[in-house]
Structure 1
Amino acid sequence: MLLEKSFPLAEEPQALLNRVIDNVKKVYLGHDDVIEKLMIALLSGGHVLLEDVPGVGKTVLVRALASSIDGLFKRVQCTPDVMPSDLTGIRLFNQRKAEFEYRPGPLMCNVLLADELNRSSPRTQSALLEAMEEGQITVDGEVIRLPKPFFVLATQNPYVFEGTYSLPEAQLDRFMFKLQLGYPEAKNEERLLEQTQGAIHPVNRLKPVLLTEELNALIQESSKVHIDPSLRTYIVQLAEATRRHEDISLGVSPRASIMLMKASQACAFIRGRGFVLPDDIKELAPYVFAHRVLLRHYRGLEAGDAFEIMKQITRLIAAPGLKYVR
């Protein structure tokens, strides 16, 4: 442990958050916007689905973030034979004590990497729903609370469909963001080759720079960021626009509106403000809403078009002009 348990007196919140971001950037080069959105989700109690081709650094990014926090990190390689109990844990009979004991599964952690989530069966995928939404699991009828914070980062390959199970809309709705990384710039790829030419991967050298107690305190502070009532109305207007759009057959749920509000509060907090701006909401809305809508496929639309439709909606719905901020 590198820090004293003295938050908020030790350092300002933004200094602590920047320390985590800078630590991640030591091994994950480029895509600063993706790193910021991971921090937004972490602070606002959301979860993230990373969707991209293999080998672009999804796992490295998650490991770098997990290594920067002095909490418990678990990784699950999802395959069709992974059962729900492989995630939640099981109860085994202890003959010496003549009683059943709970053996925790990987869900009992602070940061969970569910690698290639769409390769697990629907039954196993559903085991994550309660954990992601309620922060608890049920084992043999007993409810067990998960540690705080509890943050799920799942990955999936969008181009290989053999042996995969598409995530149902109910599970997609549990993810605050669905993000794509893309290929790195040439200069960053060259730096990556330089970093990884040794025997030890640089991510294995990272040390935690933030205690879980400090992170939980930051989460509480983030939730106190002021959001003007007119901005809450604006969020609802954006959500309603998805339900009326001619290219969308199913708009976003109220859960999406809540997540956009919380994400905008965390965004303002990370950027050193105690209040939300309309631009925070406009910037984040496509990332929060796009993966939650169902498009009218008879119009020839594809999943990637949802993001552009959401950007179009943010341009059409006028943001409120705030007369004052607090």
Structure 2
Amino acid sequence: MGLKGGSGLLGPNGKVKIADVARLAGVSPATVSRALNHPQIVRSELREKVARAISDLAYTRDSAARALKSRRTHTIGAIVPTLGISIFAEGVEALQNRLSEHGYTLLIGNSQYDTRREQQEARALIERGVDGVVLVGDAQTPELHALLRQHNVPYVTTYVPSAREGVPAIGIDNRKATYDLTSYLMGLGHREFGVVANVPASNDRSRARLDGVTQALDDAGLALPAERLVRADHSLAQGRMALRHLVTTAPEITALVCTTDTLAIGALAEARAMGLKVPLELSVTGFDDIELSSQCEPSLTTISIPAAEIGRAAADHLVNAVMGLAIPPLDPLPYRLIVRGSTASPRAARAARAGARARKAAAVD
């Protein structure tokens, strides 16, 4: 059966409207509207009729008209530091999927760890009429907070357990996570530590992780000498260079704590290239639990971040905020210490080094 021309199923201008879908499905326009906006309250057989009619007519909703009527665009914006890190990619995917369930579309901006660019991206999202914004961390400028509040745009920040100025936050306690990780290493017997940290001004999560390491050591009466802390950019190459530097300048270290898995995996690669056995001679830990961390050799001991849970929770929070619904208090999400093959007691390392020194001395004699 033809659907265009003289069929009488389309409006006079040829553009498919809800009334056209209703006529083809044999239901009322109100039923079509409910099936689109609140499908859970429409009987399954009616939803199927509406879905078939929508498919046959290639109907798409007029978002501009909906926005004018409801003063909402049913879009949410998210600004992330980068999508090149799987933790953020996983969180964005979960965010988008949950927003889709609510009938919202996601727009994404990338700040590249630059607070000025973050503010530019936020302004662009506001100009496009987003109903809410998802941010990352708690290092935004005061101007960004003022901009969002000036335009009455609800927003939430993620990957941190709390934020300044009363901003809702959904994430883990990064500081406590590395405190626990460092305590675990000390429980194995480690006392000589090295740290590789990416701590740019805009990355408050990684700075909190460094604080957790130093606090755990301080509480145990151990110091972290300045020469055992390497500040590095977030890359495999930087992890490799940091490991070589630390092993050269502080060969007595038995445990290396990295604030990201990427840095730790780079360190593992360099240890292998140097003939340094992990964990026999050196324990190495990361943070994030990216997919590669379980596949490298040895597999990496790390902290697992619930990125998908963060994304879904952010979506639910913003949709509730946009609709004016009551929002329960937000508690820090749980993290997990994942123990794998890259960590062990330092006793084996001391024995291995003593044996190496004895063999060297015997060769000289």
Give the TM interval when normalised to the shorter protein: under 0.3
Larger Rg: 2
Structure with greater contact order relative to length (CA < 8 Å, sep ≥ 6): 1
Give the TM-score normalised by the residue count of structure 2.
0.25
